[in-house]
Amino acid sequence: MAPARTNPWLVLVVLTTGFFMILLDTTIVNVAIPAMSSNTKDGLNTTLDQILWVLNAYILVYAVLLITAGRLGDLVASALCGLSQNAGELIAFRILQGVGGALLTPQTLAILTSIFPPERRGAAFGVWGGVAGLATVAGPTIGGAIITYINWRWIFFINVPIGIAALIATFLVIPDLRPGRHHGWDLPGIVIATAGLFAIVFGLIEGQR
């Protein structure tokens, strides 16, 4: 693990790369709905209800686990999504992808708070927020180009090289910031928060039907 004297701006680049990948997962799929649901050779021949769960499975798990998350990427899940042969597999792998995204996102903010002094945190969080906005715009744009010129499966494969690069850079650049003390788990609080978020998000997704 890299020492704590690592340049904080270099750490910021690595963290925002992973954060960009997570947000790209959220937005890039939207434009691929017609291609994924079609009954052509490359399509999954699925119903609209099933294909909507490809979108919602990621968002639902992401929202539910965000509060209690640790650090983990969604590299493997992205590859598995691209290899899916039917809607059920794709939904399952999107759930796994949502777990990875939820585990990684909170750690970016925690690390930035630790490595940047108070007078520089505003700039660091500004870059972090700018990346969020860029990913929101880039997702549909990149997704549309991939679907038009390549294949919808590549909207998931595109994250694999980004994830590998970010993972390698994490071990080389991110300092070890463990405080050296053990924190307990508020299990009742975790259960209540998770169940409450699941109920709210699931209700919003399935309420109309």
40: domain CATH number?
1.20.1250.20
Q: Does residue 20 register a pLDDT over 80?
A: yes
Q: Does residue 57 register a pLDDT over 50?
A: yes
Q: Which residues contact 208 (CB under 8 A, 6 or more apart)?
A: none
Q: Where are the beta strands (DSSP E) in 38-104?
A: none
Within-domain flag for 3: no
Within-domain flag for 53: yes
How far is residue 53 from each of residues 66, 87, 95, measured CA to CA in Å?
19, 9, 10
Task: Report which of residues 106 and 195 the model is more confident about.
Answer: 195
Between CA 81 and CA 47 the distance in angstroms is: 18
Half-sphere exposure of residue 6, counting CA atoms within 13 Å on the CB side? Answer: 24
Within-domain flag for 65: yes
Structural domain total, the chain: 1
Q: Please report the pLDDT score of residue 4 as a whole number.
A: 45
Phi, psi for residue 2 in degrees, rounded to 5? -70, 150
pLDDT digits (tens, 9 = 90+) for 166-201: 778 777 877 665 555 555 667 788 788 878 877 887
Q: Please report the pLDDT score of residue 2 as a whole number.
A: 43
Task: Report which of residues 25 and 123 the model is more confident about.
Answer: 123
Q: Please report the pLDDT score of residue 73 as a whole number.
A: 43
Is residue 188 helix, strand or coil? helix
Percent of the chain with pLDDT over 90: 0
Within-domain flag for 62: yes
Structural domain of residue 53, as residue ranges?
Answer: 8-177+186-206
Q: Does residue 17 register a pLDDT over 80?
A: yes
Task: With 0.75 as the threshold, say if the pTM is over it.
Answer: no
Within-domain flag for 1: no
Between CA 3 and CA 174 the distance in angstroms is: 8
Task: Report which of residues 186 and 146 the model is more confident about.
Answer: 146
Percent of the chain with pLDDT over 70: 81
Within-domain flag for 16: yes
The pLDDT confidence band at residue 77, using thresholds 50, 70 and 90, is low
Within-domain flag for 2: no
